[in-house]
Structures are given as C-alpha cells and as structure tokens.
Amino acid sequence: MIAKYLMSRRAFVAAAAATTLAACSGGGRGSSEEQGNGKKGGDGMTQKAPTPINPLVQQRADAQIFRHTDGNYYMTASVPEYDRLIIRRSPTLAGLGTAEEVVVWHRPTEGKMGGHIWAPELHEIDGRWYMYFAAGNAGQRPGDVFEIRTYVLQGPSGDAFKGEWSVLGELETPWDSFNLDSTVFEHKGVRYICWAQREPGIDTNSNLYLAPLKTPTTLGAEPLRLTVPTLPWEIRGFKVAEAPAFLARNGKVFLTYSASATDPATALAC
C-alpha cells in the first residue's frame, strides 16, 4: 500500500501490517456500517467507502496506520529526506492518499537528532499525543547512519493537529546501543512498549524486547527479551528482528515482526 524508496527499511512489511491492523481494529464509535467502511446515504442505502489505490501514498515508508476512537484513520511514516515527522488523517483508508499532511517536527540542523529520522509511531497516552521515532546525530560518517536511538515527541491533548509538539526525551533502555521501532499498546490495564535493539554480547543486528511502560520515556520493569533472530528466514543478509506490531483478537495478543534484510529477503512473522 505504500510506495518504496531508496534506503526504506520496511516500506512493504510494516505498511502491510499496519494497514491490516487499521482495517481490522473497528475502533470507531460509529455504527456497524461505519465500522465496516460504509455509511448510510440519504436514501437509507449503505454506501461503500472508496477503495484504496495501490500505492496508497507515494514516497512514504515505515508506515503506521490505525483507526482512532474518533472514527478517523491516522497515518505517520518516514519521508525520503529523513528530516521531519508528519501525520495525516482521514475518515477512510483511501482518503489518506490525498489527506492534508501536517509537519509536527523538523530535525535540528546540527548535533543530536540532526541525522536520519526514521520509523515514527503515533500514540495517544492518557489523552495526550506522543510520537516515538528513531534519530541519528548530525555529522556522522556515512557508515554510521545506523547509529540511531529512540526519542519521544510530546504533542497536544485532544486534537493532534492543533497545539505544539516538542521533544520529551530519549527512551531509556538498558543499553546505549542501536534501537528503533518502538510500539506501545495496552493489555488488561497495563501499558507495554515493544522495540528492537542490539544487545551487547549477542551477535545480532537487533532483537525484540518487551516491558511495561512507566512513563512515555521510562520502563516500569526490566525488559523481557522476546526473540533473537536465529532461524534461516530471520538471518538472510542480516540477523534482524524489528518492526513489531501489536494485534489483539478474541482475548489473545499477537505481535508481528519483520526479519532478515531490507530487500526481497525480508520476512514477516507472528
């Protein structure tokens, strides 16, 4: 659903998972017709929502799409310039393709977070908006482009498109090492965060970790290591487990993730 561009890490895999989540969530407050991507017309007949066209949005990758309780679909994604964070919203998935795009933050021109900006995720926590994203520093050598950490942007309460956004801080993990792809979800009254990180002493590019979230930037307990890429389909090109996505169905919790390289060897698992 999302067009792929150079250096996109998970343009296809994450977009597919996010779009599936958005389509299946049924999180809106509307009628069953609205939740089924349709609404009653003036003649009382159910009108189908527009069909999404592939690619849904040009030149966007690492996409996250979800349906909010206000009935709208929200989207954020990486941009080809790797220099800003954006959001869109629309009452239909197809509408995201032409929806207004708002820039909520630009990277600084130098220093910390002045490098590549990747893989944002938008979340509403206790009525306030937050965005988790990965950032490198300005002035890094070309080979150091993957020296990135996760940061949290704090936005307004209420309408995500109104009010100021500012950097709240860096996500505090046990190790000062490559990490990205943080996703936040709530299960049985506990808010969790899941992310990908390189753990010192383990010969992989990244593993997946899970922990309760105390504040938007701090963990509430020691993290649990969920998976280490060791299977043949997880280590093609690189030893990678990344891009976790939370799914809940019939009281069960699932996490999808992507593995291996960022070319056709990429695999999706649950």
Catalytic machinery residues: 62, 242
Q: How far is CA 1 from the centre of its chain?
A: 15
CA-based nearest residue to 38, from 21, 26, 20: 26
Q: Name residue, tokens 């990678």.
A: 240
Neighbouring C-alpha atoms within 13 Å toward the C-beta of 32: 0
CA-based nearest residue to 196, from 209, 213, 187, 185: 209
Give whole-number Cα distances, 225 to 122, 174, 196, 197, 244, in Å: 24, 12, 10, 10, 13
CA-based nearest residue to 256, from 19, 92, 5, 2: 19
Q: Is 35 exposed, middle or buried (0-12, 13-18, 19+ CB in 10 A)?
A: middle
Rg (CA), the chain: 18
**Rounded distance between C-alpha atoms, residue 95 and residue 89, angstroms:** 8
Cβ 268 vs Cβ 262: under 8 Å: no
